[in-house]
């Protein structure tokens, strides 16, 4: 070895100490409304990059469609004024510290009147800030809710409780399935969902024979799947694994010849998964998020205007990006718009009062109740029906709507027990 | 038993690309004395080339892999010529340069390809074949292809080093740069060759793995950590050690991940490296240094 330059010993020391080097970047750009004298800004604070982006970026796409439609229709009518909508987004990379920075920017610099979030890891500090600022905010994860989160609502998605509907449907329609294996990433999205699936499987009389979290930094899912399949489960449950993980785990299940039943909270970008596997492999897979061109989305109880049109416009403008959340943020924004017009004000506390008036509200899948004090200590989640979706001939198909509160009234104690056991 | 065999198959497939990464890293350090933190980004660049050419523009997969090796190799050559060569006598400068390159390549990938949703790269050969006629044990065709390419490249590289004059020169330079220079070898030309080959191999690893993993700008992070552990365990500067350590580490990590937990596997992998450093500071096949 030469005497000049770096020696092997120096290299060894440096390389051994350097077992973690990662970078990050952020992007955030305001989306300007068309020219108007009065503008109301709606904030979007969530992961636009990284492995969780699949649950925020498609939602922001949907919200842009909503904003354009509202503005094209003359804006939001508050008394004699018309307000054009401007969407302001901030990429928090699903990091709590960046989320707080984004929260302050949206409220103090941009002057938004409402903030939509995915919720979970990035929520606590930001929501605390929103509460202090009397700012209305929304989440898809009601596990964010506490008795102190007075202005934080879950008006569209009540993750993960609706997962019980899929398990219950499966138990009733395929009673021969007796054992299940669950895997999930080890984080705030995985834990409550595992608790929910454990409760749902126990209520359905299905034994969970494997239940393990995997490191969110996992890049090779072959060992995860090999371990899951070791005891030949009838059902493999992908819990609320991130979209990228569901893709890679599904591929591994296919490659390791799993021919049982799969159940998952989401099955985003499923056409890509089918291309990696086969139509036969995913046939019968159960999850919880419909395509909006589903005939069952035209039923009378649905509170979403022209779901077919929204679905086709979305896919035309943002091809290959329809996911579980594509409709959710726009649905929340539309509820907020209607409440603002009803209140005659865009001020957050006025809109909140209009939203919760009467204790019920128009949830996308049917009228629902503001509920949650039994579980989170506050009635800030709009809970009612949720669809059970099955892959049939390569297409997501709603097989039934089931009521979440009905399940809770029968098995709520199980969910409480498993939530406590999983650290909830 | 089927689980054990499946785990052996998983580990064997994984070890090939880890070895390819580690050998390239060892070569670059041996000749250039640069701790190349950007080696993981060469892997990432190879994966993106396959994404762009194969998944987006329908170029045949194998042509895309060859293109990835060439493109990433050329990136390596350019970086060596512009950035690393001026830092030849300043190893700390080279290290800092490599960290800078890491960020630049990540940001470039983010700007060019975006960082939102997962890149869809369909496998060339979907499906799997049973192993030993066991239904519960399967090896995916795409992994078999990746394994075959990686092994072929490693053999070709080994033959190049052992049977060609350029290979001898590279080995001589890696063993003692000053002595090699005194024999009339051009260190700059050999460094250029080492960087091109090392980067190309990392690019090849990324290219063959692209349909099997999640391709994103920061994919190089976990890969470079594994490669560093492997070359420390194998012995810095030892190509044979890198291959041996790649196999040992990957088998160890895969078995622990399957039977215990992925996080525990990563922690135990680092502990394994520390243990090797304590018991055999030069690594498994590394040569001790005279002080």
| Per-residue pLDDT tens listing for chain B (291 residues) | 788 999 999 999 999 989 999 999 998 888 888 889 999 999 999 999 999 999 999 999 999 999 999 999 999 999 999 998 888 888 788 889 999 999 999 999 999 988 777 788 988 888 888 887 777 788 888 889 999 999 999 999 999 999 999 999 988 888 788 888 888 888 889 999 999 999 999 999 999 999 988 899 999 998 999 999 999 999 887 888 999 999 999 999 999 999 988 889 989 999 999 999 899 888 888 776 544
Are A114 and A184 in the same domain?
no
Chain B positions in Cβ-Cβ contact with residue A59 (cut-off 8 Å): none
- A391 and A261 in a common domain: yes
Domain co-membership, A43 together with A68:
yes
Give yes or no: residues A139 and A84 share one domain: yes
Say if the Cβ atoms of B257 and A244 lie within 8 Å. no
Specify the pLDDT at position A99. 96
Q: Residue A27: what pLDDT?
A: 34
Band the pLDDT of A13: cuts 50, 70, 90. low
Residues A45 and A153 occupy one common structural domain:
yes
A to B CB pairs, distance under 8 Å: 190
Higher pLDDT, A14 or A114: A114
pLDDT in the model for residue B30 = 82
Q: What is the 3-state secondary structure (H, E, C) of chain A?
A: CCCCCCCHHHHHHHHHHCCCCCCCCCCCCEECCCCCCCEEEEEEEECCCCCCHHHCHHHHHHHHHHHHHHHHCCCEEECCEEEEEEEEEEECCCCHHHHHHHHHHHHHHHCCCEEEECCCCCCHHHHHHHHHCCCCEECCCHHHCCCCCCCEEECCCCCCCCHHHHHHHHHHHCCCCCEEEEEEECCCCHHHHHHHHHHHHHHHCCEEEEEEEECCCCCCCHHHHHHHHCCCCCEEECCCCCHHHHHHHHHHHHHCCCCCEEECCCCCCHHHHHHHCCHHHHCCCEECCCCCCCHHHHCCCCCCCCHHHHHHHHHHHCCCCCCCCCCHHHHHHHHHHHHHHHHCCCCHHHHHHHHHHHHEEEECCEEEEEECHHHHCCCCEEECEEEEEEEECCEEEEEEEEEHHHHHHHHHHHHHHHHHHCCC
Residue A106 banded pLDDT, cuts 50, 70, 90 = very high
Same domain, A46 and A109: yes
For residue B11, give the chain A residue with the closest CA. A223
Q: Is the pLDDT of residue A155 over 90?
A: yes
Contact B102 A21 (CB under 8 A): yes
Domain around A74? 30-159+300-383
- Claim to verify: residue A277 and residue A396 sit in the same structural domain: yes
- Residue A181 and residue A243 in one domain: yes
The alpha-carbon gap from B66 to the nearest alpha carbon of chain A, in Å, equals 23
Residue A179 has pLDDT above 70, yes or no: yes
The whole-model pTM stands at 0.84
Q: Residues of B with CB below 8 A from A229's CB?
A: 3, 136
Average of per-residue pLDDT across A285-295: 96
pLDDT (average), residues A310-334: 94
Query: What per-residue confidence (pLDDT) applies to B256?
Result: 93
Does the residue A22 lie in any domain? no
Q: How far is B242 from chain A (nearest CA, A)?
A: 13
* Total tally of structural domains belonging to chain A: 2
For residues A392 and A271, state if they share a domain.
yes
CB contact under 8 A, B116 and A53: yes
In a domain, A138, yes or no: yes
In a domain, A263, yes or no: yes
List the single best residue of B94, B228, B242 to mutate versus A (max A Cβ within 10 A): B228
In the predicted structure, residue A31 carries a pLDDT above the cut 50: no
In a domain, A15, yes or no: no
CB contact (8 A) between residue A243 and residue B259: no
Same domain, A61 and A88: yes
User: Confidence class of residue A281 from pLDDT cuts 50, 70 and 90?
Assistant: very high
- Residue A307 lies inside a defined structural domain of this protein: yes
pLDDT of residue B34: 82
The pLDDT of residue A21 is 36
We report the CATH number of the domain holding residue A322 as 3.40.50.2300
Q: Across residues A73-79, what is the average pLDDT?
A: 93
- Once rounded to an integer, what is the mean pLDDT over residues A179-187? 93
Residues in B touching A25 (Cβ below 8 Å): 106-107, 110, 115
Residues A401 and A280 in one domain: yes
pLDDT tens, residue by residue, A371-399:
999 889 999 999 999 999 999 999 999 99
């Amino acid at each position: 070895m030469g005497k000049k330059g770096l020696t092997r010993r120096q290299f060894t020391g440096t390389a051994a100490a350097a077992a973690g080097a990662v970078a990050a970047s952020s992007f955030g750009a305001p989306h300007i409304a068309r020219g108007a004298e009065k503008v109301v800004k709606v904030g979007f604070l969530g992961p636009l990059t990284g492995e969780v982006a699949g649950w925020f970026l498609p939602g922001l796409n949907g919200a842009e469609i909503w904003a354009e439609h509202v503005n094209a229709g003359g804006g939001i009518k508050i008394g004699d004024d018309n307000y054009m909508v401007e969407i302001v987004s901030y990429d928090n990379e699903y990091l709590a510290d960046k989320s707080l920075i984004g929260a302050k920017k949206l409220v103090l610099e941009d002057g938004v009147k409402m903030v939509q979030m995915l919720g979970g890891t990035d929520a606590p500090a930001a929501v605390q800030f929103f509460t202090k600022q009397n700012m209305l905010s929304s989440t898809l994860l009601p596990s964010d809710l506490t008795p102190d989160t007075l202005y934080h609502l879950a008006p569209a998605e009540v993750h993960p409780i609706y997962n019980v509907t899929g398990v219950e449907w499966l138990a009733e329609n395929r009673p021969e399935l007796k054992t299940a294996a669950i895997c999930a990433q080890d984080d705030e999205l995985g834990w409550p969902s595992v608790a929910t699936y454990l409760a749902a499987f126990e209520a359905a009389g299905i034994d969970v024979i494997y239940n393990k979290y995997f490191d969110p930094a996992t890049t090779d899912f072959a060992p995860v799947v090999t371990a899951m399949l070791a005891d030949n489960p009838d059902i493999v449950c992908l819990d609320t694994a991130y979209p990228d993980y569901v893709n890679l785990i599904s591929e591994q299940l296919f490659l390791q010849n799993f021919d049982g039943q799969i159940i998952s909270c989401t099955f985003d970008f499923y056409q890509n998964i089918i291309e990696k596997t086969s139509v036969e492999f995913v046939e019968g897979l159960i999850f919880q998020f419909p395509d909006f061109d589903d005939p069952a989305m035209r039923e009378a109880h649905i509170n979403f205007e022209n779901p077919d049109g929204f679905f086709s416009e979305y896919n035309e403008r943002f091809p290959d990006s329809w996911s579980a959340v594509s409709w959710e943020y726009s649905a929340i924004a539309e509820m907020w718009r209607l409440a603002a017009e009803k209140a005659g004000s865009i001020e957050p506390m006025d809109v909140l009062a209009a939203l919760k008036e009467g204790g019920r509200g128009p949830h996308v899948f049917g009228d629902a109740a503001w509920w949650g004090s039994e579980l989170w200590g506050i009635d800030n989640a709009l809970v009612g029906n949720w669809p059970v979706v099955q892959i049939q001939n390569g297409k997501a198909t709603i097989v039934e709507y089931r009521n979440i509160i009905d399940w809770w009234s029968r098995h709520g104690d199980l969910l409480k027990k498993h939530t406590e056991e999983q650290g909830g | 038993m089927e689980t054990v065999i499946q785990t052996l198959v998983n580990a064997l497939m994984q070890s090939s690309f880890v070895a390819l990464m580690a050998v390239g890293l060892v070569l670059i350090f041996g000749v250039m004395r640069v701790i190349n933190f950007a080696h993981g980004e060469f892997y990432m660049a190879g994966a993106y080339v396959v994404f762009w050419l194969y998944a987006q523009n329908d170029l045949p997969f194998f042509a895309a892999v060859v293109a990835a090796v060439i493109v990433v190799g050329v990136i390596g050559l350019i970086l060596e010529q512009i950035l690393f060569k001026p830092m030849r006598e300043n190893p700390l400068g080279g290290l800092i340069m490599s960290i800078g390159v890491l960020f630049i390549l990540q940001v470039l990938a983010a700007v060019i390809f975006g960082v939102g949703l997962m890149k869809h790269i369909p496998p060339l050969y979907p499906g799997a074949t049973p192993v030993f006629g066991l239904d519960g044990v399967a090896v995916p065709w795409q992994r078999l292809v990746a394994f075959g390419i990686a092994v072929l490249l490693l053999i070709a590289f080994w033959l190049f080093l052992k049977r060609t004059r350029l290979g001898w020169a590279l080995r001589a330079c890696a063993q003692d740069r000053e002595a090699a220079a005194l024999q009339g070898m051009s260190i700059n030309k050999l460094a250029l060759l080492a960087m091109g080959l090392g980067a190309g191999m990392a690019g090849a690893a990324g290219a063959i793995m692209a349909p099997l993993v999640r391709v994103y700008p920061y994919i190089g992070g976990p890969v470079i950590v594994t490669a560093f552990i492997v070359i420390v365990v194998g012995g810095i500067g030892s190509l044979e050690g890198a291959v041996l350590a790649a196999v040992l580490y990957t088998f160890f990590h895969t078995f622990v991940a399957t039977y215990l937990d992925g996080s525990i596997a990563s922690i135990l992998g680092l502990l394994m490296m520390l243990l090797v450093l304590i018991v055999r500071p030069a690594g498994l096949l590394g040569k001790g240094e005279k002080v």
